[in-house]
Amino acid sequence: MTTAQVNALHFGLIGFLAIWGTVLVPQLVLQHVRFGRVVPGRVVTTATLIAYASFALAVTFLPLPTAGGRRLAQTIQLVPFQWIADARREAVEDGINALSTTAFEQMTLNVLLFVPLGLFARLLWKRGFTGSVLLGFAISLAVEITQLTANFGTAPFQYRIFDVDDLITNTTGAALGWIAATLFLVLRSAVQPVREPARRERVHLTEAR
């Protein structure tokens, strides 16, 4: 992980703490009004969503460039799976395994970045596979367009490449997250019928006593 990525994570943490600190008290008040008590699951869910959004935005857009910063030699990459060729080239040039290259690491991080989105889409928002994949693609496209336009003109110049591989890997990450969430739900539903008779037996024995 580069120094820039570590710094971005630090800003993501600060953003998370600031936003969650602002949201937490109103959320607790609303829960007391609606339910008469604090619902820990909802608090944790809100914190998780805010944390994910904060860290994802931080690593995607930070650090911001300065006016005299170094400009990109290439601003658009439209060749699908170009990362494979880049990984092979890096491996040959540096004499390392392709799995240790920057290109492979970046591809892996792009996939992992959107896995939580697929999890949320399935577990929280009850989206189907197609809807989750389209959501991942739409958000990834919005990010790439923002980068292409230099954050819609708010940055002094374009400092991130519009990369079709990012669209592919991000969308793949959302799909993998949805699949992982679905497997979790299937396993949980398979375990519950086994636990239910045992629970009923314990209740029966307790009542018999």
Question: Residues, the chain, total?
Answer: 209
**Nearest one of 4, 155, 161 to 65, comparing CA atoms:** 155
Tell me the pLDDT band of 203, cut-offs 50, 70 and 90: very low
What pLDDT is recorded for position 186?
Answer: 94
Would the pLDDT of 205 be above 50? Answer: no
Q: Do 143 and 60 contact (CB within 8 A), yes or no? A: yes
Q: Dump pLDDT digits (tens) for 92-110.
A: 999 999 999 999 999 999 9
10 Å Cβ neighbour count for 186? 10
Domain range annotation of the chain: 1-63, 75-209
Q: What is the pLDDT of residues 31-84, one digit of tens each?
A: 999 999 999 999 999 999 999 999 999 999 999 999 889 999 999 999 999 999
| pTM across the whole model | 0.87
Residue 25 buriedness (CB in 10 A; 0-12 / 13-18 / 19+) = exposed
Amino acid at 13: L
